[in-house]
Chain A
Amino acid sequence: MVTLNPKFDLYYELVKTNFKMKYRGSVLGFLWVLMKPFLMFCVLFIAFSGMGRQNNGLSSQQYAVYLLTGLVTFYYINDGILLGMNSLLDRAGVILKVNFDRKIAVLSGMTLGLINLLVNFSIVLLMALVFGVHIQIIPFLYVIGIFLSITLFTFSISLFSSILLIRFRDLSHIVDLGMQLLFYASAVFYPIDIIPEKWRFVIYYNPFAIFIDAIRQALVWGNFEHYKYVILVTCFSLIMLVIGIKVFDKNVKKIAEYF
């Protein structure tokens, strides 16, 4: 019999199981996806709305959209990095019993982050609609392009980090801490302009901050900010993807005994 695509079906079942297991038995279930960005949003909005607005001339409604977009984007990057890194280790039991394309484990692990993004981002769009922030079609397509670029970037990093984590478990602590620091260094809740000139390189060398700023500028103002940078990072990710797949396939069997 001709199989439709067993690899895709494996991916599909893994995603379904991940999803079911994550929200199984919890009263609020899938609402938890919204809870984290929403509560963070409330706290940051109350604390920083004054500062955010002064520097950008945003109304408080605009600042709300601006802030929530930043949070949602940051959480997508954060999910991608952490879920991707842990994807192999989380599946250790299966990996030692059956040989299948391990990249499916990485992809299916990261898909949970994508589902979260879709839900969170629809809230952003809803909020923009309610608060009268007009989102134009072309900049919106640009935003989708940036999200694709982020996905490519986090996936190609995960091809390395998921393997490395098996041999070097400290990585999990390092990355946890790193992502927390990056949250404050990525201009999520404040405009880039308030950073003193001599420290601004921290932002320019941080693709996350640029991604976040580009998405926000496109949504709130309809600007095509940082497009050269986004293209550069996308090209870099593509190269990393090609090398990453080679490195991953070559090493994934060698680390089997270290699970």
Chain B
Amino acid sequence: MDDIAINIKNLSKSFKIPISRKIHLRDYFSNPFERTQYRHFNAIKDLNFSIKKNEFFSVIGRNGAGKSTLLKIIAGIYEPDKGSIEINGKMVPFIELGVGFNTELSGRENIFLNGVFLGLSRKEIGESIDEILDFAELRDFAEVPVKNYSSGMQVRLAFSVAIKARSEILLLDEVLAVGDESFQRKCFAYFDSILGKKTIVYVSHDLKSVSRYSNRVLYLGENNTYTIGEADKMIEKYLNEAIH
């Protein structure tokens, strides 16, 4: 079992969804203690699979298929209703770039803020801050509040911090295809460089990057069905089912 990074067994997670909501103020007054009715929505049901060490593993499926829920469970943000997850190796449990960004603060301040959320110490961040700013191509804007950055600049900053996280397992929810052409190339170059060296769980709608990098793909279909297989076959299946 040494070559397994993430092992998932019988994983299920459901959410309570309110059926009749109190919409008008008078609903509250007429029946303030009436309990809202719920139904259970199974986001993930009886999922079984394992991800090998240093594999690039992608998850695709329509909106609401349970992709992000799965990632949140792996990160330990949600607790599953049933089943178990085993994680071998160091994982920094973030699923989005730029976690903790405060747009009122400057780029430099946000590098520290984001960095500590990714488990880096302030000393380490201080030592690599020039490198981060250079990679993000934002050295001249380090003291500008992030709210005045363009969205591309924000993502560049976030990406440049994220790759500093000392994590053998990366959880990535829709992170590629960011910034302008030249920065995208930089990102892809980074992915090429870590391919086969880190385990990556990648959730995306960008099928091009899924097909380019993935060793295997998990396709989450309708009614909690799922299939795992080669990238191109899974993408074809997804496109067939999603469009028809």
Contact = CB atoms under 8 A, between A and B. Distances in A.
A5 B116 CA distance: 10
A253 interface: yes
Interface residues of A, number: 25
Interface stretch (A7-15, A46-54, A214-222): A7-15
Interface string A84-116: 000000000011111110000000000000000
Contacts of A96: 72, 77
A5 B120 CA distance: 9
Nearest to A20: B105
A131 B172 CA distance: 62
B124 interface: yes
Contact of A256 (B77, B94, B124): B77
A97 B99 contact: yes
Nearest to A11: B116
Interface string A1-33: 101111001101110010011001000000000
Interface in B186-213: none
Contact of B104 (A24, A98, A257): A24
B38 interface: no
A12 B77 contact: no
B116 A253 contact: no
Contacts of B93: 98-100
Given A1-B124, A98-B94, A17 B116 contact: no
Interface string A244-259: 0000000001101100
Interface in B119-169: 119-124
Interface string A175-214: 0000000000000000000000000000000000000000
Given A10-B117, A13-B113, A4 B123 contact: yes
Contacts of A253: 76-79
Nearest to B95: A97
Given A13-B112, A97-B95, A6 B76 contact: no
Contacts of B99: 94, 97-98
Given A3-B124, A17-B105, A100 B78 contact: no
Given A98-B93, A99-B75, A256-B79, A6 B102 contact: no
Given A3-B121, A6-B121, A94-B99, A13 B116 contact: yes
B83 interface: no
Interface of A: 1, 3-6, 9-10, 12-14, 17, 20-21, 24, 94-100, 253-254, 256-257
17 contacts: A1-B124, A3-B120, A3-B123, A3-B124, A6-B120, A10-B116, A10-B117, A12-B122, A17-B105, A94-B100, A97-B77, A97-B94, A97-B96, A98-B117, A99-B77, A99-B93, A257-B15
Given A98-B99, A253-B77, 11 more contacts: A3-B119, A3-B124, A6-B121, A21-B102, A21-B104, A96-B72, A98-B77, A98-B118, A99-B93, A100-B119, A256-B78
Closest 3 CB pairs of A and B: A99-B93, A253-B79, A98-B94
